[in-house]
Amino acid sequence: MSLRFERLRGGAAGPRLGRLHTARGVVETPAFMPVATRGMMRGPWPDRMRSMGAQMLLANAFHLFARPGAETVEALGGLHRYMAWDGPVLTDSGGFQGFSIGGARLEEDAIVIPHPVGGHSVRWTPALAFETQAALRPDIAMVLDECPPDPRDRVAVAAAVARTLRWAREQRDLHEARGGLAQSGQALFAIVQGGVHEDLRAACAEALISMQFDGYAIGGVSVGEEHGAMMLGVEYSAGQLPPDQVRYLMGVGTPRELVEAVARGIDLFDCVHPARAGRFGAAMTAGGMLNLKNAAFKADPRPIEPGCGCDACATGVPRGALRAGLKDDELLPMSLLAHHNLHFIQSLMKEMRDAIAADAFEGFRSRIASVWTPRPPRA
C-alpha cells in the first residue's frame, strides 16, 4: 500500500501527532501544504521548499486542466517533475472554483465554470475531475464536491450534501475500476460537507465512510463565516471521522485557525493565505502581522523579522527597501515575503508538533491566541 496514516499520539478528539506514509516520503502531522495552484509556487523557488520545512505540496486539477492541460504536464514528465518537487503532492478537484470563480453555475451532474484563459464554459464533471487527476498522477486526489456559498443556509447546504454524496459514489466507482490505491498508486479522499449543521455533517461523514475512501477531508469552511461558526463545522465533522485515518481541513491557514483546528483533531491543512498575504506586503511575525506598506517602515533597516532563520530574512533586504519595492510593484519583495510567511507557518507547525509531544499544547495554544485574533467574517 502506497499510503498509510500512523497515529502516534491522541485519539478521536483533541490534538494528534501522526505520520502520513506515502510512496514519496513521510509527512509528520499536523502538517501544512503550501499551495502551488497551477503547479508552480508564486514566490518561493522549488528548491527552497524543503529547507523551510515543507513536506507536501498542493496543486489544483481544474487550473492545470485549463492551462497547460494534463497532457502537457504528462509530456513534461508528470506533475512532480513539472513542479520540480520529489515529495508527495495532493491535487484539489476544483470544487472550490465553482464557489470562487465568478460566473460559475451548478448543474445536477457538473459545475459549469468559465475557462480562466479562454472564457468559454467548461462542464467540470465528477468524471472529468477524476480523469484529470488520474492523468496528473498526484499521490492524493480529491473528489469533486459542491461547496455551498453560505454554510448557514440549511436548505442549500442539505442539497450540497446530497449532490456531494452522489458525486462521491460516482468517483469511488471510477477509483475502484482503476484498481484503487493498491493498483493505481493514487489515493482518493472524500470531502465532508454540511455547513454549520451538526446533523448534516454527521450524515455526510457517515455516508462517505461507508464508501471506504482512502482518507477524508473537511470542506465548506472558511468561506466567509465567522471564526466560531468555522470551528463548529470542524468539530461536527472531525468527531465523525475514523481516528486512524488522516483528517484534512481544506483552505485554512492563519496561525489562530491552524492551532484551533489542531485542537479539534485535524492533521493536514492547505491555504493560499500565507503566500498571498506576503505578495500583498504583509509579514507574519512572532508579534503578529506587519503591513510593510505602512509609512512606519519607510526607513526601517531591519530584515522582515530579526532573528528569523528563513532564506528571505537571510538576504538582509531591509524592511524599508521592501516597502519601496512593493510600492513600485517589484517582484522581489513579493517573493521574499511569500517565502518568509510560508517559512513562518512551517515553523509554527513544527512548534505545534513539539508542543503536543511535550504535553504543552494548551500553553502553546494560549500564546498564539494572545497574538493572533481571528480574521473577521467576509461581508
- Catalytic positions are 92, 270
Q: Is 288 helix (H, G, I), strand (E, B) or coil?
A: strand
How many of the other CB atoms lie within 10 Å of CB of 352? 25
Burial of 281 (0-12, 13-18, 19+ CB in 10 A): buried
> Alpha carbon 182 to chain centroid distance?
25
Q: Is 358 exposed, middle or buried (0-12, 13-18, 19+ CB in 10 A)?
A: exposed
- Surface-to-core class of residue 262, CB atoms within 10 Å of its CB (0-12 exposed, 13-18 middle, 19+ buried): buried
Can you name the residues that pair with 20 across neighbouring β-strands? 5, 27
- For Cα atoms 291, 369, 35, give the angle at the middle one, nearest 5 degrees: 60
Sheet holding 140-142, edge to edge: 31-33, 268-270, 247-249, 215-218, 187-192, 140-142, 89-92, 57-60
Question: In the numeric block, which cell numbers belong to residue 199?
Answer: 446533523
Distance CA 17, CA 356 (A): 7
